[in-house]
A = this chain, B = another copy of it.
Amino acid sequence: MQITSYTDYALRVLLYLAMTPNRQANITEISDFFNISRNHLVKIVHQLGSKGFVKTTRGKGGGLSLQRPPEMINIGELVRSMENHFNWVECFDPTQQNCRLLPACGLKQLLARAGDAYLQMLDAATLADVALGTTPVEVAQSEAPATAHSECNQNQSLTTETQENNL
């Protein structure tokens, strides 16, 4: 189970822009930074623009920047905008109602509730929260195992000179 890289990259673009607040970034620069397809990114940026997350400026000297401050960009809103469906199982799709259990099955409601729980957790965080490396645990939920999933990513010896830290 996963989010599409489309949404993943959209998130990265916003994070990148949040780190360069005082100038226009451009697509080539961002695709180079993340080492991902520029062509793919073009579409993502376009959608980010049409959904009101970034401001794009054509022409020489143009580029892109956040359309709102990071505190006003909600992660849940972003994910809902970029993922093109949340059909957890077949019967969520109005065009695919083939399951013979349909009328009497309680599964759909359960999965819908679970999906909502997922998105509501994302609704509790803004771009500012994730860019700073802190998530609003106190807002979202207090149980917070917090870093029970730490086994894999913590290494990663940060190439240090990485990005231009919010010059």
Flag whether A91 is at the interface (Cβ < 8 A): yes
Tell me, in angstroms, the Cα distance from A88 to B5 when the chains sit together. Answer: 9
Pick from B101, B110, B133: contact of A106, CB under 8 Å: B133
Q: In the assembly, how many copies of this chain are there?
A: 2
Given A5-B90, A85-B1, are A104 and B134 neighbors across the interface (CB < 8 Å)?
yes
Q: How far is the CA of A112 from the CA of B31 in the complex (A)?
A: 26
A34 proximity list for chain B (CB < 8 A):
99-100
CB nearest to A89 among chain B residues? B8
Contact of B152 with A94 in the complex, beta carbons under 8 Å: yes
Known contacts A104-B132, A105-B15; decide if A162 and B118 are in contact (CB<8 Å).
Answer: no
Q: Does A27 contact B (CB under 8 A)?
A: no
Tell me the bound Cα distance from A121 to B145 in angstroms: 16
**Size band of the A side of the interface?**
35 or more
Residues of B within 8 A of A151 (CB): 92, 94
Determine whether A167 belongs to the interface, using a CB cutoff of 8 Å to chain B: no
Contacts of A89 in B (CB 8 A): 2-3, 5, 8, 11
Which residues on the B side are within 8 Å of A134 (C-beta)?
Answer: 103-104, 106
* B87–A2 CB distance below 8 A: yes
A50 at interface by CB-CB < 8 Å: no
Partner of A131, one of B100, B106, B119, B132: B106
A: which residues have CB within 8 A of B? Answer: 1-5, 8, 11-12, 15-16, 33-35, 75, 83, 85-94, 97-122, 125, 129-149, 151-153, 155-156, 158-159, 162-163
